[in-house]
Amino acid sequence: MSNNSSRPNKIQTLRQKRRKDFFVLIFGCAGLLTLLLFTGGISLAEWVLANLVLILGAIAYFEGSAHYHVASVEADTEPAATESANSKAYEDTVHGLINGLPFPTILINADGRLEVANAKAKEVFRLVTDNGVRASAALRQPDLLAASIRVSDTGAEEQLAFKLPNDGQSWIAQIRPGPKENTVIITLEDRTTIRRAEQVRVDFLANASHELRTPLTAISGFIETMRGPAKNDYAAWGNFLDIMFQQSERMKRLISDLLSLSRIEFSEHNVPSTTIDLSPLLVAAIDTLEQMAHEKSLKIVAENTDQSFWVVADPDEMTQVIQNLISNAIKYAADGEKVIVQIGAANTMERAESDISRGIPEAAHATLLSPQASQKVPAIWVRVVDEGSGISAQKLPRLGERFYRVDESRGGRIDGTGLGLAIVKHILARHRGGLAVESKKGVGTAFSFWLPRGNVPVRHG
């Protein structure tokens, strides 16, 4: 635009300059000829003739070359105009690209103002507009602003991890030189989920080490005692050895649960492919735990296990789920009561969830795992109900967290790793199923899971 309007001005200036050159040339040469005339170098006739030739020659030259000079002005202006049009198209492309990016991106111009901030960036920095806002006002993060100024000055790209006030998100910013000199492009990557996963891992490792160290400390304490103060107290040794055995058994259980958990986590994204009948698995699990129930004078009652209930599942993992739930019911129920194991079908996953949460009157509910399968597909559900002391409502949602144990339900006496329900939850997640709990203090607890129903296998022959 500015280049086009300057074109007539340039031609005008050029004309004035050429006119000046013309008179300077004419008068300069005429002066020289006059000097020659006065010094007798040339005659008057030669002076007149020479001046005539000079004036005509000069006129012919200046007129003849006028087009060439105008053309050269045009040649000078046109690339500038084309360049300007190109630069505008380039800018539009860059802006379009930034606006189309799926992650927050900002372009800051050489004056330190926002040239473009795409919708995601506006969301992050809570900007109403990106039109010329000063970066110092828009970027609500001093380190990010300082980095963008450095990149604008030096052209050397930088990376920065930061959090914004009042939003708890963890961001990584890549700050790079922009398409023009001293401009800066900032792209943001949301690291919140990764950070949280890292934190979960760190906590898990800390918990696992702590849980393993407790029995190990007890064992090595007793060894010290037997080697030192109780060296010859053989009467006490039997008791010490009993405790050491219990502690080493506890360590074995912990290690085996930790291994199960890591194995299941490893295969969590592979959906199982075998179709199995859950009823025989329930019957087998009840048989296995019969002795444990008998020791507590408990009765395990199975309902509906004479019918088939088909699901697509891994039989070993399903056995582990059922055994963990029934053994918990036995462990945490008082002596002389019964544990009921029920199985059933529902038209939809949604329906299964509502059917299984209406068992214990006035009980509190918590969904520990929401199913990933569609809510509309037919479902099979399993429910394990006990008449134990129950769990208070506010503690229900935490069940299934690794190492979480409810003190009130075990009174510090019942041994466990706090990993059983976490294993159940991971297995069910792999099967795209759900897990829920309902409990009422003094009445009992029911854990239920539900899975998409499998097709009844076609029998050949």
> What residues line the site for ligand ADP (CB under 6 A)?
324, 328-329, 332, 386, 388, 391, 399, 404-406, 409-410, 416-422, 445
Q: How far is the CB of 329 from ligand ADP (least distance, A)?
A: 5
Give the residue with the Cβ less far from ligand ADP, 247 or 409.
Answer: 409
Task: Record the tokens describing residue 402, joined without a space.
Answer: 């690794």
Residues for the chain: how many in total? 461
Between the alpha carbon of residue 97 and those of residues 155, 186, 422, the distances in Å are 21, 13, 45
Neighbours of 328 (CB within 10 A): 23
Which residue do the tokens 């539900």 mark? 450
Give the residue with the Cβ less far from ligand ADP, 170 or 260.
Answer: 260
Give the residue with the Cβ less far from ligand ADP, 138 or 298.
Answer: 298
Q: How far is the CB of 390 from ligand ADP (least distance, A)?
A: 7
Q: Which helix (H) or strand (E) holds 2?
A: helix 2-38
Give the residue with the Cβ less far from ligand ADP, 177 or 359.
Answer: 359
Task: Record the tokens describing residue 65, joined without a space.
Answer: 């070359």
Q: How far apart are CA 425 and CA 431, in angstroms?
A: 10
Give the residue with the Cβ less far from ligand ADP, 319 or 409.
Answer: 409
Between the alpha carbon of residue 81 and those of residues 5, 13, 74, the distances in Å are 10, 19, 10
Q: How far apart are CA 384 and CA 416, in angstroms?
A: 19
Task: Record the tokens describing residue 458, joined without a space.
Answer: 């076609």
Residues 6+ apart with CB under 8 A from 266: none
Q: How far is the CB of 327 from ligand ADP (least distance, A)?
A: 8
Q: How far is the CB of 318 from ligand ADP (least distance, A)?
A: 16
Give the residue with the Cβ less far from ligand ADP, 204 or 404.
Answer: 404
Q: How far apart are CA 278 and CA 276, in angstroms?
A: 6
Q: How far is the CB of 348 from ligand ADP (least distance, A)?
A: 27
Q: How far is the CB of 276 from ligand ADP (least distance, A)?
A: 23
